[in-house]
Structure 1
């Protein structure tokens, strides 16, 4: 008996058509997903930028309406879209984040995503003081306060690490009031002792030096430090340095002319002036404090005028925390050891 194959062929053709239709639909779905977009104020916003825009309240949020379509960034990697209240930047490594206001202006002045800061990796945040703002980027963090920071300034690298150890803007140095800048006499007394400074509140500075053979011993190799301007009767400023290789610490006091005459009369008052606007080095032991205070006395008592001008011992009184704590047996005993060698 002959069996008809027509129904089977019809069914096969029908199944084939369904498969082709489903495949076409799947292809359309895959293609449409990355290009998902929405209309806002007559302009398209899509992808990760749309997700961030939605999160921030769309047109009624701080960004307002889009001013342009999504654009490729000059680095050929990321995307951006400008809105009335700021711009959202995106890259695969950083995700999408808005940049605006004084922090956005500083970021732009430093080269946008092609500058040292790179892409934003977080939204702008309010600092624990409830007033200041910060935003983290790939290469550092920009801080701003309406009255304390003198604009917006980035903090990064070794200086940023040291600032963080002291408690960020809530610590001893407060907000940055300048960007980092190249400076002389960093890590040593000579003009060729070059390094980096950054000024913070209350005439306090954080410092970095790559290390130089003619610098202070703690800065013969890479070191960080801080400086406080005191303008006290006996002390102009005090610097503290830490060698990042061996951990050695030293204190360098710049005395006034009056200090060479009178500072040895009252060691307690001299010590107070040294630390009047400079934080005492962190985790100081009593032995280190004793040693440094006695070295201070030695400099004040025996820095006699030099025949060639100035005073013996140089322009700063260098106090090294690793020196032994010499007993106060007698003035003469201390005097014979005041070179601390």
Structure 2
């Protein structure tokens, strides 16, 4: 083997080794505060202002990430992470703390794919990762929390942090009684401001009809005299929507005294289902009155109609008729 051939092979091996270990290419190495910063991490560091940026001085040299796909350098005020597909991005503050607590890049959020951005309210910030977007506000978010997946899509439809649900105040967590009344009806919840929640269920036949297959929904804790909470679900396959009201004991007894007030309490902390037609509103309000009027105690335990008043938007709008209500058991 000739000298040139051996040199070419060694050069190729060096390039492959660089790709495998995830080191960031581009700029030349530079010693800063006693540590070498290099490649695209150095480019991003300089772009942010170097030592005068929130990052300050580096506290480590560049390291390869445990998955072998990227590289990172820690600084006094945060870190910069890089991969060939995501580029180099700084992570700092409460978002970095939360991301680290979820396993850094090996967690479900993966690598950052953008820098931290200021939100339209001028106070909160967000940062996008491969598996979702972190949001933080100094007073409204109770720390930094990621929003993604189906819940993130639904939240986006309601206007993100500027919409009816505001900032997330927890991350996603597994829960029971999602999509149905039974403990076996499991799914995912995420809490937002003002005791409002976004919900997701893969679907179960024992759940509400709208959640027999994959569904998303939202819930508002009302704590009104007649209503504890209101849930709204949408089936992702067929678009069917339903409303599920959990009455208080006083609600079971008295909510039929004033339909208008009962309706107000149902929606006191829960947005009305979007793009509601007048026919849907008429049907749902009559179903609500029917359930309230006929919520008699059952022999043994429970009440007629069950623990929630289940109102389906696809039901026809029928004339007021107590006989029809009794015949159908409020499920016309």
- TM-score, length basis structure 1: 0.88
Q: Which residue of 2 aligns with 1:100?
A: 92
Q: Secondary structure at the match of 1:143?
A: strand
Deviation at 1:62, TM superposition (A): 1.2
Q: Secondary structure at the match of 1:258?
A: helix
Deviation at 1:339, TM superposition (A): 3.0
Q: Which residue of 2 aligns with 1:11?
A: none
Q: Is the 8 A contact 2:136 2:144 kept in 1?
A: yes
Q: From 311, 319, 324, give the equivalent of 1:327.
A: 319
**Paired residues for 1:144-293 under 5 Å:** 144-293=136-285
More deviation in 201-210 or 59-68? 59-68
Q: Secondary structure at the match of 2:88?
A: strand
Q: Is the 8 A contact 1:327 1:334 kept in 2?
A: no
**Paired residues for 1:3-14 under 5 Å:** none
Q: Is the 8 A contact 1:132 1:143 kept in 2?
A: yes
Residue-by-residue CA offset, 1:66-112 (whole Å, 9 max, x unaligned)? 11211111111100011111110000010000111100010001111
Q: Secondary structure at the match of 1:51?
A: helix
For the pair shown, the structure with the greater C-alpha radius of gyration is 1
Deviation at 1:259, TM superposition (A): 1.4
Q: Secondary structure at the match of 1:154?
A: strand
Count of residue pairs brought into register by the alignment: 313
Q: From 332, 335, 339, give the equivalent of 2:330.
A: 339
**Paired residues for 1:30-69 under 5 Å:** 34=26, 36-69=28-61
Deviation at 1:43, TM superposition (A): 2.6
Residue-by-residue CA offset, 1:290-332 (whole Å, 9 max, x unaligned)? 100000010011121100211111000000000001123x544
Q: Secondary structure at the match of 1:153?
A: strand
Deviation at 1:57, TM superposition (A): 0.5
2:80 aligned with 1:88, yes or no?
A: yes
Q: Secondary structure at the match of 1:128?
A: coil
Deviation at 1:44, TM superposition (A): 2.2
Q: Which residue of 2 aligns with 1:24?
A: none
Residue-by-residue CA offset, 1:213-261 (whole Å, 9 max, x unaligned)? 1100000001110110111111010000000110000000001111122
Q: From 77, 82, 99, give the equivalent of 2:69.
A: 77
Deviation at 1:334, TM superposition (A): 5.3
Mark the runs of 5 or more structure 2 residues left unpaired by the alignment: 5-10, 16-24
Distance, in Å, in 1 between the alignment partners of 2:83 and 2:120 is 29
- TM-score, length basis structure 2: 0.90
Deviation at 1:38, TM superposition (A): 2.2
Q: Which residue of 1 aligns with 2:20?
A: none
2:292 aligned with 1:300, yes or no?
A: yes
Q: Is the 8 A contact 2:305 2:329 kept in 1?
A: no
Q: What is the RMSD of the two structures over their aligned residues, measured on CA atoms?
A: 1.9
Distance, in Å, in 2 between the alignment partners of 1:73 and 1:332 is 69
Q: Is the 8 A contact 1:235 1:256 kept in 2?
A: yes
Distance, in Å, in 2 between the alignment partners of 1:38 and 1:87 is 17
Q: From 115, 131, 134, give the equivalent of 2:126.
A: 134
Distance, in Å, in 2 between the alignment partners of 1:180 and 1:68 is 33
More deviation in 258-267 or 227-236? 258-267
